[in-house]
Structure 1
């Protein structure tokens, strides 16, 4: 029991420290990317914090397996460096005792991972998609910052837009002006307010302009027609955005209900995130074996490369399943089996045949 608590503590401390460092790196990179989008006008500043939160939580689940692998290897590498592994081996402590401590920590973590991946992760993605939809419908996302003229298009087909101000809700543009040049036809619109909205069927942006005037030149008769309107709609493709409903936001029960290739791929991907926690925990102990006078961090570099290969193969298989190029019965399960076989092979190589 004393040994079990000691090893549990070593694994937990190193895992927590590794996860914290990796999280700081991911959060920092996400913040820099979002800040660049905000500075270029693609992301409203008031949504920066929420986007950072959702993006960081989403990436955190994917960091846990690799953080566990590196943390466990750091813990066992220290035991090898301080000759504690040699002393424990001489005292009759074998891999069974180590795995008892390993899985007393990993099994509860895996249960939490399963709950997070299968239940909370889709809900988190729904919130993320809702936030992106709100961002997409903001005037700033269409390239219409308040108080600035914005021009898009070419010499014969172009738009010039000006919104003098945007209200506190960040949705209504006040004292709105737009000039549309379509070949020889020129249209000027001035209105008290305008709202940007997105067509749910086509994904195109439209301006709902209220209480204004439309000025249009008449090429055939000459002169200009003036129309006063209460409400008017104009399509405004100022920037090109690709919008699609992410399958990551679909609940696990809905994925089980429809056996499409994309749903099968997503289900196996979610299961792979959970299984990789157990697989990497099984692999970490024999992979951390360090011979005398061997560098402490040499095996960690090998582990990171091995994890990169493992994760990339799973991602490649996921893409093949989504495109229907790989049957679901082949899927991703065999990759986990290969990693388990590798773990047992390393155990036998370094620690001999179990008694």
Structure 2
């Protein structure tokens, strides 16, 4: 029991440290991406931390298996390097017993990953898509940033304002450039609006207008001198109505209960993927225990790079198999299970190869002694 607590603590502490570092790295990259979208007006800056919160379960379901894998390699590698594993082996600690002890904290991690992949991550993906749907429904006034050119409507309109009131209703120093398209989507030049000030007007029927005051409108084609210039005192621009949608179409946002029995190939592939993540924990644990065995003279990091490459191969093949299953290139019965079976055999080979090699070497030595 003392040995079990000691080994489990070493694995879980290292797992927590590695997972925390990986989570910070991944979330930092995502936050920079979302921050750039917020700066361009594609996202509401006030929703950034909410987005990061709902995305966290999706990150953790992939980080924890890798964190456990690296945690076992680093924790047990240190024990081998400091000869603690040698002492444990002398007291009867075999590789299979070490694997059995390690499987207990691995089971705890697998349960957490199962909870994340089957419940929390789909809920987070659902909330994330709803947030994006609401972002798509925002008007220009909701995302406009003073002093910044902002592309809207897939780049067909560019809006700029020098000043914007706190209630986002009044503008000062307005510039709007918009492509004019015919009904068959052909380019008919551009229209440029400049105004001293403007404000938002919401009509009883729900339509929103941008009312510009004291400005000019320029119509024409770049490179040509036939521009039309109109001076106006008041000019109204109809703003597109918000298109609020509560529909969730992404498969990773569907509840797990809706995937069970669903004949759709993508739904079936998504269900197998969610089940595969907890299975991934047990298989990588089987591979990590023998890979953590190092010679003190070689250092604890000798097998770290090959081990990481093996893990990346496992995950890459699993993702590729998921894509093939979604496209119908793999039978549903075969699915993703063959990938787990392949690396399960690799893990068993790693586990029994060293004892088998030592056993064969011992027999060879005994034969040489007998011949001498």
**What is residue 249 of structure 1 aligned with on the other side?**
253
- Distance, in Å, in 2 between the alignment partners of 1:286 and 1:163 is 63
Structure 1 residue 329 and structure 2 residue 328: aligned? no
Shift of 1:20: 1.4
- Relative distance call for 1:327 and 1:115 in structure 2 (3 A) is same
Per-residue CA distance 1:58-99 (angstroms, 9 max, x = gap): 212210001000001111101110111222212221123212
C-alpha distance in 2, partners of 1:174/1:29?
A: 34
Segment drifting more, 2-11 vs 61-70? 2-11
- Match of residue 208 from structure 2: 209
What are the equivalent positions in structure 2 for 1:32-71 lying under 5 Å apart? Answer: 32-71=32-71
- How far 1:229 moved relative to its partner? 11
Could you tell me which of 280, 290, 294 is aligned with 1:290?
A: 294
2:347 matched to 1:311? no
SS class of match (1:326) = coil
SS of the residue corresponding to residue 298 of structure 1 reads coil
> 1:193, 1:209 within 8 Å by CA — same for their partners in 2?
yes
For 1:59 and 1:303, locate their aligned partners in 2 and report how far apart those are by CA, in whole Å: 21
Q: C-alpha distance in 1, partners of 2:29/2:156?
A: 36
| Partner residue in 2 for 1:27 | 27
Q: Which residue of 2 aligns with 1:122?
A: 122
Residues 1:103 and 2:110 are matched in the alignment: no
Shift of 1:21: 1.5
State the superposition RMSD in angstroms.
4.1
Cα contact 2:55–2:125 (8 A) shared by 1:
no
Alpha-carbon distance between aligned partners in 2 of 1:131 and 1:146, rounded to the nearest angstrom: 24
Residue 112 (structure 1) shift: 2.1
CA contact (8 A) 1:178 1:188 kept: yes
TM-score by length of 2: 0.74
1:37, distance to aligned residue in structure 2 (A) = 2.8
Deviations 1:140-173 (A, max 9, x none): 69974346666789xxx96464668767687x78
Q: What displacement does 1:135 show?
A: 2.5
1:281 equivalent to 2:285? Answer: yes
Q: Is the 8 A contact 2:55 2:124 kept in 1?
A: no
How far apart, in 2, do the equivalents of 1:141 and 1:285 lie? Answer: 57
Q: Normalization by structure 1: what TM-score?
A: 0.77
Counterparts of 1:179-198 in structure 2, within 5 Å, are 182=180, 183=188, 192-193=199-200
For 2:365, the equivalent position in structure 1 comes to: none
Partner of 1:137: 137
The structure with more radius of gyration: 2
How far off is 1:256 after superposition? 1.2
Quote the Cα distance in structure 1 between the aligned partners of 2:92 and 2:137: 66
**2:260 partner SS:** helix
Asked if structure 2 preserves the Cα contact closer than 8 Å seen for 1:194 and 1:210, the reply is yes
Residues 304-347 of structure 1 deviation map (CA, whole Å, 9 limit, x = unaligned): 10111111111111111112222211211011111111111111
Query: Structure 2, unaligned stretches of length 5 or more?
Result: 181-187, 219-229, 360-372
* Paired position in structure 2 for 1:262: 266
Equivalent residue of 1:12, what SS? helix
**In the aligned structure 2, how far is the partner of 1:229 from the partner of 1:81?**
78
- How has the CA–CA distance of structure 1 residues 264 and 167 changed in structure 2, closer, same or farther, with 3 Å as cutoff? farther
- Partner of residue 276 from structure 2, selected from 272, 275, 278: 272
Q: Go from structure 1 to structure 2 and tell me whether the alpha carbon gap of 1:187 and 1:302 turns closer, same or farther (over 3 Å shift).
A: closer
Q: 2-side partners of 1:89 and 1:342: how far apart?
A: 24
Residues 139, 173 of structure 1: 8 Å contact kept: no
Number of equivalent positions: 330
Taking a change above 3 Å as real, the CA distance of residues 293 and 167 of structure 1, as seen in their structure-2 partners, is: same
2:354 is aligned to 350
1:159/1:180 contact within 8 Å kept: yes
